[in-house]
Copies of this chain bind each other. A is one copy, B any other.
Amino acid sequence: MQNPTACLLVIGNEVLSGRTQDANINFLAKGLGAIGIPLREVRVIPDVPETIIGTLNEVRARFDHVFTTGGIGPTHDDITSECVAAAFGVPWEPHPEAWARMEAHYAKTEQGIAAFNPARQRMATMPRGATLIDNAVSLAPGFTIGNVHVMAGVPRIMQAMFAVLAPTLAGGPPIQSRAVHSSGAAEGTIAEGLAAIQQRYPELDIGSYPYYRAGGQGVAIVAKGNDAARCEKAIDEVTILFNSLGAETVAGEPAM
């Protein structure tokens, strides 16, 4: 079975300006790999309607799933939701269920229903046909329309949304990974032998990553694919390669 593919759009000027260090790419890369929907591309784009609409229409045609983070709050710079509606060519309108949940919530607050003001009503306004992604942290839901999953940018809210979304997605076999590392040989020394191993395992993705840690520097080799036994076998060959060059090895990735 072929794995479905994923693209992530990180929407927000704050990541591009360096104001905010993104934490969602790495979380979703791991989470999507675990459910067999590997992440194939990420784009970080600004809060500009034409850019969001154009990018969304390009990538939703190219990937099985598109995940977005950011831009679904109540302020003027939160424009993801209306841009998704424009990309799909559907009306952007109050979502009955989201509206009812938020209206009921704010009715219980100090200011009462007045607190469910136009800015907050925008968070209950969605593309027609959207289905909700629950938000266990701060109520205002995300949503799915077609193959596009719209989530919050705040990491702990995004993570809560992904926790309810992930089990609803039909993934492929999870991505398996095996690794070995050595502080005894440089990348340039093992490169030729490593390329030969990659050729014998064309279905695997074998990566070579130098590392610089407190405990010393070296090279980590990682094999990824759907078949754990094949990953294991490839890493065995890499271990023999290191050893043949007089370099000692340790199974797995180096400690952080």
Task: Contact check, A45 vs B39: say whether CB atoms are below 8 A apart.
Answer: no
Q: Is A244 close to B, CB under 8 A?
A: no
Chain B hits for A198, CB < 8 A: 76-77
Task: Contact check, A41 vs B45: say whether CB atoms are below 8 A apart.
Answer: yes
Q: Is A191 close to B, CB under 8 A?
A: yes
Task: Contact check, B206 vs A77: say whether CB atoms are below 8 A apart.
Answer: yes
Task: Contact check, B16 vs A26: say whether CB atoms are below 8 A apart.
Answer: no
Chain B hits for A194, CB < 8 A: 75-76
Task: Contact check, A43 vs B40: say whether CB atoms are below 8 A apart.
Answer: no
A249–chain B nearest beta-carbon distance, Å: 16
Of B18, B26, B187, which one neighbours A22 at CB under 8 angstroms?
Answer: B26
Question: Which of A92-100, A126-134, A162-170, A208-216 makes up part of the contact surface?
Answer: A208-216
Can you sample 15 A-B contacts with CB below 8 Å? A14-B207, A16-B40, A17-B38, A17-B205, A19-B177, A19-B207, A40-B46, A47-B207, A75-B194, A76-B198, A77-B207, A115-B188, A115-B189, A119-B188, A123-B188
